[in-house]
Structures are given as C-alpha cells and as structure tokens.
Amino acid sequence: MELEKTEDREHLREQKLSAVWNNELNEVFENIAEHYDVANYVASFGMWGWYRHNFMKTISVNPRERVLDVCAGTNAIGIALLKRESTLEVYAIDRSCEMQAVGKRNSNSLGFRINSTIGDVHQLPYPDNYFDIVTLQFASRHLRVREVFSEIYRVLKPGGRFHHCDMLRPAPRLINKLYYKYLSFMLWFTATLFGSGKAAQNCQKYFIDALQIFYSISEFSALLISLGYTEVMGKGIFFDIIGVHRAVKPKQAINHNDPQ
C-alpha cells in the first residue's frame, strides 16, 4: 500500500488501530510486564540484545546531560545509559504502571535513580527545550507518531538528539511475507509459553496489522524531516526488520508554541 503523505498514513492507522490503543493496550502490557524482556529474547532467538546494542551504538552522551526515555517500559535504555555515564539525569515516561514498576525495580537494584512518570506520551509533561537527548524504542507502532514526535521536538533543546528504534515495515515484499508468518507464530508461542492473559492473546492479530500499515525506514526518515528534524540518519538491521534512526533539533529551531 502506497501512501504519499504521512498524514494519510496516520489517518489510516488511527482508523484501524485506535480501538486497541485506547481500550486494550494497557491491559496487554499489564499482562506481560513481568516477562516482557525474557519473552522478547525468546521471540527473537536471543537477538534482542544485539538489536539493543546496535541502537545504543548510535547514542553518544556527555556528563550531566538530561535524558528522557519515552515509552520507557522496563527502563532498559535508561539503565544502559547510566551504566555508560552515571552522571546523567534520566527521566522515564510510560503509560503502563506495571511496566514501570518492573523498570523501577530493575534500576533500583543497580543503585540507579530514574525519574519516572506515568502518563500519555502524546502530551509530554515537560517544559520546552528541556532535554539533551530523547530516546524511544520498540513502541512507535502503538502511537500517533506525528503527535509524539512533535512533542519530542518541543521538549528537546536546540541541538538536542532524538534516537529511535522499532520494528518497521520491511521494504522487500518476500521478506514481508516470511516475516509476518514468523511473527504470527512467535506471538502465539511466547503468549502460550509465558501464560499471557486474555488481552495479550487477543491482540496477536493487532501486532501484525500495526506493522503492515506502519512505515518503512525511508518513510520514517522522511517523516522526521517533515517535522523539522535535521541530520536524519536511518539504517536497517537484519533485512530492515528493525529500523534505527537518529535526528537532531536544529540549533536555530523555532518554538511553534511561542507567540510571534
């Protein structure tokens, strides 16, 4: 399916997915929070750590920078960054209390402080120009992307960096077909193996649908550029199943919320 404008794709995603976004995802992540990380390692045949390693390689940090991890889940990114640079001021926001409870337990066990907020990432509760770095990993498929990325742009300082990683729509048609068959099986397998609740079991089709109408790597880069980001870098991992992007808020960025 070719959609010329990101607005068209976002409208299609809203039509097809918003019922799950609004009514079911909270319960899904409540079901899977305790085994989320282990299930991802199983479903990826142990490559989950390699995906994250490739993402982390794109992130450079300086002492005492302020970092926001959007849809932070179990705080894996915040913890990895604090292991690299302990002076960072790390914030996390996620809609799931259960996922952040696991994340808080994980960070506290290592002696790391991460400032956690439970809330809607479409309306970030932070001031303009506040963060040096914003990260978002494996969650954009469940979001109104243009809204969230515009909010991330707002809270980034001029010159701040946005780092993104997610499962995207593979461009080659053959890879598409094979990938969706594999993913369908692994969603069923991990849900059965870990005894996921009814909400997670019922959302297996949703996860496939969300990918089939999502962005390819090049489309994702174009979206970031259209929202005002510069120095946009996008690369694919493992037949473009995973996309990693880095983008910068221009140093002369205009704050569109300010009166002219």
Yes or no: say if 197 and 223 are a contact pair by the CB < 8 Å rule: no
Domain edges within the chain: 6-248
Q: How far apart are CA 131 and CA 22, in angstroms?
A: 28
Long-range contacts of 14-21 (CB under 8 A, 24+ apart): 14/144, 16/209, 16/213, 17/142, 17/206, 17/209, 17/210, 17/213, 20/203, 20/206, 21/142, 21/143
3-state secondary structure (DSSP) of residue 134: strand
Q: Give residue 260's pLDDT.
A: 32
Instruction: Identify the H or E element spanning 164.
Output: strand 156-167
Token code pair at residue 53 = 């390693």
Q: Give residue 1's pLDDT.
A: 43
Partners of 137 in the beta sheet?
165
β-pair type (242-248, 156-167):
antiparallel
Q: Give residue 196's pLDDT.
A: 67
Closest CA to 37 of 71, 74, 68, 65: 74
Q: Kindly report the CA angle at 258 between 254 and 260, in degrees rounded to 5? A: 85
Q: Give residue 240's pLDDT.
A: 84
- In a structure prediction context, what are the per-residue pLDDT tens digits for the chain, which is 260 residues long? 445 577 899 999 999 999 999 988 899 888 889 888 888 878 777 778 888 889 999 999 999 999 999 999 999 999 999 999 999 999 999 999 999 999 999 999 999 999 999 999 999 999 999 999 999 999 999 999 999 999 999 999 999 999 999 999 876 666 777 777 777 777 777 777 766 666 666 777 888 899 989 999 999 999 999 999 999 999 998 878 899 999 999 998 655 444 33
Maximum distance among all Cα pairs of the chain, rounded to whole angstroms: 57
User: What is the CATH T-level fold of the domain 6-248, as seen in this structure?
Assistant: Rossmann fold (3.40.50)
Q: Which phi and psi angles does 103 have, rounded to 5°?
A: -60, -40
Other CB atoms within 10 A of residue 136 CB: 24
Yes or no: say if 122 and 147 are a contact pair by the CB < 8 Å rule: yes
DSSP class of residue 242 equals E
Token code pair at residue 81 = 């960054």
